[in-house]
Amino acid sequence: MLSGIAVLGALLVAQDTPVIRVPVRLVAVPTLVFSKENHLIPGLKKTDFRILDNGIPQKIDLDILDAPVSVAIAIQANQDVHGSVPFIAKVGSVMDAHLVGATGRAAVIAYGGDIKILKPFGSGDVRAAFRGISAAGVEARAIDAGMEAIAMLKERPRTQARVLLFIGQPMDRGSEASWAALQHEADEENVAIYALNSSDIKADPLLAVIAATGGTELHFRNQHELENAIGVLGVELRSAYLLSYYPKSPDAGPHTIAVEVSVPGARTHARPGYVLSPN
């Protein structure tokens, strides 16, 4: 698992994260802290952190993201992923144990030309929902499935981490909504978007949305790699520190964020900025 976390750390360093537009005054900054050996560092306190907003030190609060997670899983189920569906269908128990956890809640959606809710929040079984996946058709309405998932996440408590996880290829064919609309909805509802990517597509339209919402994309080619990636994401969700503050400067417009930590040689991963709405 440590090798998987190291891969995650290297990915996060290389990821070019754009700023996020938020219409609220409270700024939430989920933050991962890595040692110089590229391992996640747990157990830090509020006094270990310092946040600069436009260069100005802020008064911060800290929560550890060990509260129950609400995760909506959107699985591609068309002919493009016909070869992956058999082993995706087998990882429901891994998803339930390592990503959702004992206290979390999950919903499962399958998408191709149609969007099917295989398991809503509050009822059903994740493993049974995964086993019910089958591939058919040519369309892949990923964006519309993501919008449906966020609509479901809106009903979940805002005190819980809200996660949208795509499994499949980073592509869309046939959606009515746009990637920009999906990002906007995710920003509005405090949803972090993640992806488990089964392709080698270089033009990845999902990457910008993932980066903008503070998520991660990992790749897999077989069932073993998929199970390992699920474990890595589970570790990330349970290792983030939720830092928040009210900006001392109320000026509308772009704000930069710098997160510092008082651990020698450590580095942080957090979104680098946001745009403060005049509203």
pLDDT by residue (tens digit) across 149-198?
999 999 998 767 789 999 999 999 999 999 999 988 887 777 889 999 99
Whether residues 59 and 79 share a domain: the answer is no
Averaged over 121-141, what is the pLDDT?
Answer: 93
Do residues 50 and 108 touch, judged by C-beta distance below 8 A?
Answer: no
Instruction: Give the model's pLDDT for residue 73.
Output: 97
Whether residues 94 and 217 share a domain: the answer is yes
C-alpha to C-alpha distance for 136 and 82, rounded to whole angstroms: 8
Whether residues 45 and 94 share a domain: the answer is no
Whether residues 84 and 131 share a domain: the answer is yes
How many domains does the structure of the chain reveal? 2
C-alpha to C-alpha distance for 207 and 188, rounded to whole angstroms: 19
Whether residues 49 and 173 share a domain: the answer is no
Taking only the tens place, the pLDDT of each residue in 31-56 is: 889 999 999 998 899 999 999 999 99
pLDDT tier at 144 (50, 70, 90 boundaries)?
A: very high
Q: From the CB of residue 227, how many other CB atoms can be counted at a distance below 10 Å?
A: 18
| Residue ranges making up the domain that contains 154 | 69-239
Whether residues 38 and 165 share a domain: the answer is no
Instruction: Give me 88's structure tokens.
Output: 């995706």
Nearest to 191 by CA among 146, 150, 236: 150
Nearest to 175 by CA among 214, 148, 209: 148
Whether residues 228 and 245 share a domain: the answer is no
Whether residues 84 and 209 share a domain: the answer is yes
Q: List, in order, residues 6 or more apart from 123 with CB less than 8 Å away.
A: none
Q: How many residues does the chain have?
A: 279
Judged by phi (left if over 0) then psi (alpha if -120 to 50, else beta), residue 124 lies in: left
More confident of the two residues 29 and 158: 29
